[in-house]
């Protein structure tokens, strides 16, 4: 399909006169259009769930989440990868964001980089991509050559490939094991896919990465438990987390945390299963560190 025929390149009838309306009306138009984003993303629930399950399975075996995109799509991938490190305490090498043109392209466009199919493959080769990894190819237009080249290479090495686009029957979807296509419609400012398309992509990436982390046991109930209590403030926070999910007093929680050598999931397991440190460690090993699974089965 020609670029001019893509949904993301069409003019939006609702915003034809956005340049002449009042600022209040301008904002209203934007909000009304943004409401359509969550609905579009919701049509892809089944595909997103499939992506989470597939990526979580490979991540558990030591695989990585690798994001690849150009422009806004690439920046959103880099952002999602970067935020997983402090949020869930993972090692930086377990979530990697690649953007066409390299790190400099985060701030300034690199001419021609997104049109280079070979560059996508080269960037993934540098990572020694393997069959345990998951590659998320992101392109609002669904046709970026850099992303297509990356997905083609990822398929060759047996990695799980997921595409995220904002058009139906996308080109990148033809090169992915799992195609996610949230069609948000024409942008408020024609072709400015950092708007509705960018919001949809951000939502989808958040859902996939959060789902993968939940499946790794990094969330108990709805609380992040892989906190690293490296100072007094974080120790206090860890105590409150333990108290919140176990109904223990703050004093009891901090005592358990101390016995667990500042390991929050271990402290929670000790309290919930009424076991000592050694027994709780064995239980966590048995269930791959997933506190939810430990509690459910003991």
Which positions are catalytic?
83, 114
Alpha carbon distance 51, 207 (integer Å): 10
Contact 168, 8 (CB under 8 A): no
Written as six digits, the tokens of 176 are: 């992915």
Which residues, at least 6 apart from 274, have a Cβ–Cβ distance to it below 8 Å?
Answer: none
Question: Using N-to-C axis directions, what is the helix angle for 23-42 and 196-215, rounded to 10°?
Answer: 40
Contact 267, 259 (CB under 8 A): yes
Written as six digits, the tokens of 158 are: 């047996």
Q: What are phi and psi of 80, to 5 degrees?
A: -65, -40
Alpha carbon distance 270, 120 (integer Å): 47
Contact 40, 184 (CB under 8 A): yes
Written as six digits, the tokens of 174 are: 């033809």
């Amino acid at each position: 399909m020609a670029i001019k025929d893509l949904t993301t390149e069409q003019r939006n009838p609702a915003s034809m006169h956005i340049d002449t309306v009042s600022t209040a009306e301008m904002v209203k138009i934007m909000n009304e259009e943004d409401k359509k984003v969550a609905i579009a993303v919701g049509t892809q629930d089944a595909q997103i769930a499939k992506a989470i399950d597939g990526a979580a399975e490979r991540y558990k075996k030591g695989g990585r989440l690798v994001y690849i995109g150009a422009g806004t799509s690439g920046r959103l991938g880099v952002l999602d990868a970067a935020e997983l490190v402090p949020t869930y305490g993972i090692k930086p090498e377990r979530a990697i964001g690649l953007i066409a043109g390299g790190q400099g392209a985060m701030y300034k466009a690199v001419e021609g980089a997104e049109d280079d199919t070979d560059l996508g493959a080269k960037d993934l080769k540098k990572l020694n991509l393997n069959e345990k990894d998951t590659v998320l190819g992101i392109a609002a237009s669904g046709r970026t050559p850099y992303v297509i080249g990356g997905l083609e290479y990822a398929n060759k090495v047996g990695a799980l490939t997921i595409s995220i686009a904002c058009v139906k029957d996308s080109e990148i979807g033809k090169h992915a094991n799992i195609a996610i296509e949230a069609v948000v419609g024409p942008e408020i400012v024609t072709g400015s896919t950092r708007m509705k398309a960018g919001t949809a992509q951000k939502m989808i990436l958040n859902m996939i990465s959060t789902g993968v982390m939940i499946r790794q046991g990094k969330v108990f109930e709805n609380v992040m438990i892989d906190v690293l209590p490296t100072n007094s403030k974080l120790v206090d926070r860890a105590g409150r987390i333990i108290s919140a999910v176990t109904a223990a007093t703050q004093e009891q929680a901090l005592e358990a945390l101390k016995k667990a050598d500042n390991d929050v999931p271990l402290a929670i397991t000790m309290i919930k299963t009424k076991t000592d440190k050694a027994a709780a460690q064995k239980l966590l090993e048995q269930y791959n560190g997933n506190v939810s699974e430990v509690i459910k089965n003991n």
